[in-house]
Structure 1
Amino acid sequence: MARSTVKLTPVRRHLAAVVTIALSCAFVAIMVLAGNLMQASLRSQASQIYEGADLEIQRELSDEDWASEEPLPAPEVEGAEAVWPAPRSYLEASSTSGDGFFEATMLPPGQEGALEEGSAAGTESEIVLSRSAADALEVGVGDPITVEGSGPATGEDPAQETERTLTVSGIAADPAGAVFGGTPRLMLQDVNAVALLGPTAGTTTDIWLATVPDGEDPAAVAEAASASAAEGITMRGVEEAEEEAAGSFMQGFGALGMILGVFVVIALFTSAVVIANTFAVTLAQRTRSLALLRTLGATRAQVRSVVLRESLLVGLLGAAAGVVAGHLLVQAALAGAAGLGWLNGVAPVPVSLWSVLLPLLAGVAITVLASLAPMRSATRVAPLQALRPQPPAVTRGLGVRGVLGLVAVVLGVAALVGGTALALNGVAALGILAAIGGGVLSFTGVMLVLVTLTRPLAALAARLGALLGGLPARIAGANVARNPRRSAATIAALLIGTTLMTMMTVGARTAEATLTSELDSRRPIDLVLSAEAMPEDAAEQVAAIEGMDAAHAGERGDVEVGAGEPMTLYSATPETVREISHRPEMADELADGTVLLGQERAERFGVHDGQVLSLEGADGQSHDLRVQVDANLQMSLVTPATLEQLLGEGTTPVVLADFADPGTAEREGIDVFELISSVDELSASEGFEGASSDPGGAERESYAQILDVLLGITVALLAVAVVVALVGVANTLSLGVIERTGENALLRALGTTRRQMRAMLGWEGVLLAAVGAVLGLLIGSLYGVLGIIALLGSTYPVSITIPWDRLVIVLVLALAAGALASVLPGRAAARTAPAAALASAE
């Protein structure tokens, strides 16, 4: 038979595979583009450090230089035109519309006229801002801003804040390529450097920058100047310095890149499972055609060529669609971010060779590999025997694959538990490595043994489903168990997504509870405001701050306990502790003649639990103070009566306060940093002297926000794998409809209604989703708990927390998705007329 007479399957029959490949390749393209955006931004940040310079000069400074109160002379560089310092300072600036901390840099000499707007500063009362700083403060040329510098005080009291009102004289452009905006900068010059950076004018730095004459090679100038430079001075071209700085920045994102790579692999692996099922569906639809081709003389090589050409075509179509979709989505995201004001204008999508080539190669390779098993099945089609679909092979016993899977599960769980135990006993690095290896090995074993587990699990799910769905649910369970290999492949796709989503959810919730518990143990009071003096109604003023829950006045003072430093005692009544502390049970341990402190603090001062200290009081007599060690409390608490007995009038006032909980009406629209800013603003007002705050609640809320963001990112990434898995459910149901055409026709002939047929397919999808989701919830919870214990157990006491509400949501969504995936196959089964279907024609 001529090769050209072997027709390809219509592409419309591969629509599910094309969609699956497009989703996965779009995901790969988005990840590559995200990496490109991040690299471009980091390189831009690095170039910003050396903007306008040709050379970087490093000069070692002595202790005397660092302590200098006079400007240090610039390093002498032969062949350089201008040399200026690169101070590493941040200054607080504010306007009527915004405030914040900004990086202080020097405007390169000779570039005063190359500004985006305005001109260079002519006096110490003027300043140049970068575009990002001007946008953050919402100011333009001619507008005033307030800067708290380190220069001489502007008022009569030298101790007051060196707050200056400056006029924006010019705005400099942010560096090119800064997709996410440049670092907001205050760009200083000689005329205002002393006023803002202090008497040294920013020269107490070991990094200086320089320019060379036009036409000169910076590297050659650096090499020549190094030979005559003073000892302790080294120099190089800024290109080399920028590359090193960019590499240093990117190292911090290496772990994030690995995590994103894991999710890419997960999405591609899930796609491979779904694509294999899709080709199995297509081959089932083409069984009679393939048999006819074999009868007419088509060789196995020709049949193999049909499947291979189909795989390549489907892979190229899906991958190309995914590449285009991925780039369009990233461009839309950039446009949306610019519209919301997050970016400085609409940045073009950073198309690169890898953003196009990698998704294409991944899509084609995954498709071809996934088609190997269906291809082998297609070449086994006999000319005559294949005219009617063969019954699926029945798997009995574990088999070699099941035995290997069971061994992998046992060994993997043992390694996971052993690694966790090692981490708990202080061998953190080895324990974490063993736990990760055990998790991978055990999950691989579960995937291998899943074929054997599918039949009993489906039967159990069918019995439970029959209580709600009756006969259609029972028939659906039998259909799922009929071909356990294909059902197991579909369940595996769902299992991957639900396991990882559950693991991340349980792990993040347990980590949050663990870190919160540790922070509650160390710093149970959200805010400790101390001062040399404060108004009598300071506590009432703090409590009146929007977002604050309660505040109480107290005292503090230092006592000698025989250590190398005095111990600072804070006074609070048990009632105060119960109201404002995140550990109200501490109040039961707080009594007169007792000091409450944590284990680390006890070791620091050389005391132990139950020890009685004999201290001289304010009346000159000796008083006993019993040590009560409470967890890891990082402050020393006593009652007001005890502090007065020990120190009398030798104390200073404090305010102990509690933030309103995030999410409550009191905190609506107020983040923790705004709350701290309000406290700082109050403590800088009249009546407060030498005030300082210790906001322990900020650390607690920051950890919670970071974990929530990470969890949101990972769940969004894993959603791609879940969507792909749902396509797999629909494919498996479609194949079942094809294989059971005659049976479905018989059911219709015996009186089964179309609604019952759709219900049967719906229950089949729900049962597949239920088995995958329940297994995923169980395995993911185990991995999440043991993984967090391995990661944090050596440092903190882990508080295992299972977020049942979120797990129920995952289960409900999985079941709903399984039912949704059954809609189209159910319609196909219900539309077939009984008499026509009995012929089982294609």
Structure 2
Amino acid sequence: MWVRFSFRHLRAHPWRTLAVLFGIGLGAAVFTSVRLASDASIGSFRVSVEALSGKAQWTLACPGGRVPEGIVADLMRYPAVQTASPFLSTYVHPAGKAAEAFLLIGIDPILDRPLRTWRTGAADSPERSLPWLKLMTEPNTLLVGEAVLQSPGSGSGDGVELAGPRGVKRFTVLGTLTFEGLGMVEGGRVAIADIATFQEFTGLTGLVDRIDLLFKPGATDKDVDAVRANLPRGAVLERPSESAESGEGMIRAYQLNLSVLSFVSLFVGMFLVYSLISLHATARRHEVAILRSIGSSSRMVFLLFFSEGLFFGIAGWLIAIPLSSFMVRHLLGGISSTISSLFVRIQVQDLMLNPWEVVLSFALTVLVALTAALQPACSVMTVPPREALAARDAVVPRRTSPVRTGFLGLFLAAVSWPVSQYQGVSGVPVAGYLGTFLLFCGFSLTSPFILRLIGSHLSPVLRRLGGEPAFLAGRFIRDSGTRIAISVGALITAIALFVSLAIMIHSFRNTVQLWVDQSIRGDLYLRSAMADINRYRNHLPGEVADRLRLLPRDADVLPYRRIYLRLGTVPYQFEALDLRIFFRHANLLLLDARLDEIAPALLDGKGVVVSEVFASRTGLNSGKRFRANIEGYDFDLPVLGVFRDYRTQGGGVIYYPFEHFADRTGDPSWSGASVYLQGSETTREEKAAQLRTRLLSDFPPERYALQMTLGSELRRAILRIFDETFAVTSVLLLIALIVAALGMTTTLTVLVLERTRQIHTITATGAGHGQIRAMIFWEALLMTLVGEVVGLGCGFALSHILIFVINRQSFGWTFLYGVDWFALAMSLPLILAASLLSAIPAAQLVFRQSPALVLREH
């Protein structure tokens, strides 16, 4: 019955059917590709973490420092300990090459054997059997992953030169790791060295990053407590999964925000389905009445139209498969790059198809389409059989009161802000998303009332502006009912999303620009090579620090020590820096305190200041106490203030005076240094370039792995990373606007088809083709203007939820609110022009049949 009644009707109108299918398919493709790309990033991170952790049950580490290797022997004396394996890792890159960095791991192949697995490829020659033995006995040897050798500039298959903290060294490649166990870390961009070779290369003799423990079967909590009770000062015993949970949690928060944003395209596509099925429900009432008169039940009629939604959901999802396979490969690079920049480093080699994501995508697409079909399908259930005897144009379906709908919309919009203020669940801003949904629904529901108001009270004005075509367009807008309101609601949703994201990105960028100008004002920055991805584990060489101390008086050198720590599952950076020099040249963007009030206590080492992100994630605001053991010293200090900071890779930063940190821990080493010069901006940049040249001459790259960056270059790099971060967001926003424009085209086409008799009657009474086209364009203009005006108001309201609720709960930061009025003034007319272009197909469609033929058929 459905094939004969519904499918044949859909096939008879292929263009409108294909337009709706493409719209729902595009929305489903965006959602699916974003989820698959995010899942691939999470999967790559999880695989690397699990391979690095192996079977270790506990990990012994020293927060902010390294562990003496001699502890291994002490741990092995415990009867319950099966193995205690020292572990070291650092990122390295081929010397003098443009090849990408990879992870170098140092292990003891014998002690590590029960914990982690790895194998070399079968293509290795016979003399390279037992590679683990050669790894221990032959100095400067490596086992490398397949992706390392395949990378351009990484060296030959027999050897590779690597740049390390103590200069460049050539290593012999003993074999290639297969893609299993440790060979899967970083997507195969990994190499294994014996721990002695690693320590000699990095200068860490006698020290390791951590010691992984595996207890014997039958070991109890008392055995673990016995080990914990005898740890050296500053060492902690923790589960390997703790660091993984913190990293994966940040990635999932980013994935959720992208998923919600991508769902908007699918949500907008739902309006297309509703519009078309609503047309069918209205235009085919006479046919439905005939079905009822010959015995069809209201349930069958409901299923006929409800199944159209099922058809659009299934067929749209099938169309989404090739679209998503194309889009996901382009989105994967942007998403993984953003995650590496903002949270944790990942290397995604291949997409990982998660069956649950396929099921979720299919179920959500079908659910959206069925939801869109529900109301039109319910409306035809009430068609009485007697309408089969009435003239086709005599029956007018009952319309919902626009005043009642408008008040409901205002109520939903009003409650969206207080609803969004509730705290998130497990770091997920559920209330913020609910408030966003209520806001979309509320403003969309006001559109019928606004359209009727315009058509009722502005018709005389429209007649003066555009003559009879504009007057008729206004009258039709007034009497159009729900179908136009639905398409306008889709446009409102897309415009609101565009405006709110434009405001958020502009506010974020301006705030980051202010933060850069106030806090990142150095002229030359020095640190060890790849310090950022190695989490500043390698200190600046002592001779470099001594050389910087001898710079002339017109150069202020600010040393700092950066340590990556974790409070529970929240990672953060503890940074000790010379605050006296910092305040001489830069400033903190404090949120809840005045610098002159807290500076004396801060400079005396009697407190710390924390970033907004750290305060949001941990709840440690001003007045609370910061407690941590760092390099064996117990810090217990009050939080003096909260400041804005937008650095990536973690859950915030804490500032503390460098001289007091060195006195308390006995460690005066530098992680890096900033140099501030005197003079104009141009003069300082020239002096900084000259100083960098001199330092490169004094500390050549073949002996010292240093990274020296001009302040101007660093500031530009920060803003470039910001722009790249929002590239994916901009693409998703553009797609949502495309779907909304498609919805406008479909709605105008459907309305023209529905009014074929009316339009040709007007033509038969003397209206010209130009007047008919003008009427349709005026309809498109009025619909778009209402969508833009209401969407603009919705966008401003939504921007507050995004900036002050969702971003704060998801990432911990807020921004200084600002609007780019010029960009909005330029973009909204472009959207208006695009909507007017969407009226062209509808205007052309009406003249495909002669008025006499149409009127005779009716």
- TM exceeds 0.5? yes
Equivalent residue, structure 2, for 1:173: 177
> Match of 2:817, as an amino acid?
I
- How far is 1:275 from its partner? 0.9
Gaps of 5+ in 2: 129-133, 230-237, 527-543, 560-575, 589-593, 606-642, 646-654, 658-673
CA RMSD of aligned residues (A): 5.5
- How far is 1:49 from its partner? 0.7
2:265 aligned residue (264, 267, 272): 267
- 1:659–1:697 Cα contact (<8 Å) kept: no
Deviations 1:348-400 (A, max 9, x none): 6533432433233223332222222212332333222362264565766722x
- 2:37–2:335 Cα contact (<8 Å) kept: no
Q: Comparing 374-383 with 680-689, which one deviates more in the overlay?
A: 680-689
- How far is 1:87 from its partner? 2.0
> Match of 2:410, as an amino acid?
L
Give the SS at the match of 1:351: coil
Give the SS at the match of 1:231: helix
Q: Which residues of 2 match residues 180-329 of structure 1 at below 5 A?
A: 181-182=186-187, 184-198=189-203, 200-203=205-208, 205-207=210-212, 221-223=216-218, 231-232=226-227, 247-327=245-325, 329=327
> Match of 2:848, as an amino acid?
R
CA distance in 1, matches of 2:320, 2:503: 32
Give the SS at the match of 2:187: coil
Q: Which residues of 2 match residues 43-82 of structure 1 at below 5 A?
A: 43-50=46-53, 55-56=56-57, 58-59=59-60, 66=67, 75=76
TM-score by length of 1: 0.69
Q: Which residues of 2 match residues 808-827 of structure 1 at below 5 A?
A: 808-827=825-844
Q: Which residues of 2 match residues 16-31 of structure 1 at below 5 A?
A: 16-31=19-34
> Match of 2:359, as an amino acid?
L
Give the 3 Å change call, closer, same or farther, for CA 657–776 of structure 1 in structure 2.
farther
Identity of aligned residues (%): 19
CA distance in 2, matches of 1:36, 1:228: 38
- 1:26–1:322 Cα contact (<8 Å) kept: yes
- How far is 1:827 from its partner? 1.8
CA distance in 2, matches of 1:632, 1:253: 22
Give the SS at the match of 1:182: helix
CA distance in 1, matches of 2:378, 2:64: 76
- How far is 1:711 from its partner? 2.9
Deviations 1:106-152 (A, max 9, x none): 37458898257686556434444444455375222344524334xxx
Deviations 1:490-516 (A, max 9, x none): 111111111112111101211221232
CA distance in 2, matches of 1:361, 1:9: 26
CA distance in 1, matches of 2:418, 2:199: 65
Equivalent residue, structure 1, for 2:566: none
- 2:52–2:185 Cα contact (<8 Å) kept: no
Q: Which residues of 2 match residues 493-504 of structure 1 at below 5 A?
A: 493-504=490-501
1:36 aligns with 2:39: yes
Deviations 1:678-700 (A, max 9, x none): 98675343299999979766775
Equivalent residue, structure 2, for 1:772: 787
Q: Comparing 403-412 with 523-532, which one deviates more in the overlay?
A: 523-532
Equivalent residue, structure 1, for 2:410: 406
- 1:131–1:172 Cα contact (<8 Å) kept: yes
- How far is 1:15 from its partner? 3.0
- 1:71–1:201 Cα contact (<8 Å) kept: no
Equivalent residue, structure 2, for 1:87: 88
1:489 aligned residue (462, 486, 489): 486
Q: Comparing 763-772 with 6-15, which one deviates more in the overlay?
A: 6-15
- 2:56–2:212 Cα contact (<8 Å) kept: no
Give the 3 Å change call, closer, same or farther, for CA 531–19 of structure 1 in structure 2.
same
Give the 3 Å change call, closer, same or farther, for CA 39–128 of structure 1 in structure 2.
same
- How far is 1:464 from its partner? 8.7
Give the 3 Å change call, closer, same or farther, for CA 186–389 of structure 1 in structure 2.
farther
- 2:555–2:675 Cα contact (<8 Å) kept: yes
- How far is 1:54 from its partner? 5.0
CA distance in 2, matches of 1:365, 1:705: 39
Give the SS at the match of 1:374: helix
- How far is 1:489 from its partner? 1.0
Gaps of 5+ in 1: 150-161, 210-218, 235-239, 540-551, 559-563, 584-595, 608-630, 637-651, 661-665, 668-674
> Match of 1:445, as an amino acid?
G
Q: Which residues of 2 match residues 429-828 of structure 1 at below 5 A?
A: 441-457=438-454, 471-527=468-524, 532-533=546-547, 553-554=554-555, 568=580, 601=599, 603-605=601-603, 655=677, 683-686=695-698, 701=716, 704-785=719-800, 787-788=802-803, 799-828=816-845
> Match of 2:226, as an amino acid?
E
CA distance in 2, matches of 1:310, 1:471: 38
Give the SS at the match of 2:388: coil
- How far is 1:286 from its partner? 3.0
- How far is 1:43 from its partner? 2.4
CA distance in 1, matches of 2:415, 2:139: 71
Equivalent residue, structure 1, for 2:163: 147
The structure, 1 or 2, with the larger RCO (C-alpha pairs under 8 Å, 6+ apart) is 2
Equivalent residue, structure 1, for 2:540: none
Give the SS at the match of 1:371: helix
Give the 3 Å change call, closer, same or farther, for CA 435–678 of structure 1 in structure 2.
farther
CA distance in 2, matches of 1:502, 1:691: 44
- 2:509–2:722 Cα contact (<8 Å) kept: yes
Equivalent residue, structure 1, for 2:529: none
CA distance in 2, matches of 1:483, 1:87: 70
1:11 aligns with 2:23: no
CA distance in 1, matches of 2:197, 2:205: 12
Give the 3 Å change call, closer, same or farther, for CA 137–360 of structure 1 in structure 2.
same
Greater radius of gyration (CA): 1
CA distance in 2, matches of 1:258, 1:320: 24
Give the 3 Å change call, closer, same or farther, for CA 103–484 of structure 1 in structure 2.
farther
- 1:506–1:803 Cα contact (<8 Å) kept: yes
CA distance in 2, matches of 1:87, 1:231: 25
Q: Comparing 496-505 with 822-831, which one deviates more in the overlay?
A: 822-831
1:385 aligned residue (390, 393, 398): 390
Give the SS at the match of 1:86: strand
- 2:516–2:715 Cα contact (<8 Å) kept: yes
> Match of 1:740, as an amino acid?
R
Give the SS at the match of 1:17: helix
- 2:89–2:209 Cα contact (<8 Å) kept: no
Q: Comparing 462-471 with 805-814, which one deviates more in the overlay?
A: 462-471
Deviations 1:565-622 (A, max 9, x none): 99755999xxxx9xxx999xxxxxxxxxxxx997654552479xxxxxxxxxxxxxxx
- 2:454–2:474 Cα contact (<8 Å) kept: no
TM-score by length of 2: 0.68
Give the SS at the match of 1:801: coil
Give the 3 Å change call, closer, same or farther, for CA 632–64 of structure 1 in structure 2.
closer
> Match of 1:75, as an amino acid?
M
- How far is 1:45 from its partner? 0.9
Give the SS at the match of 1:383: helix
CA distance in 1, matches of 2:5, 2:583: 90
Give the SS at the match of 2:226: coil
CA distance in 2, matches of 1:249, 1:797: 21
- How far is 1:486 from its partner? 1.9
Equivalent residue, structure 1, for 2:530: none
Give the 3 Å change call, closer, same or farther, for CA 232–283 of structure 1 in structure 2.
same
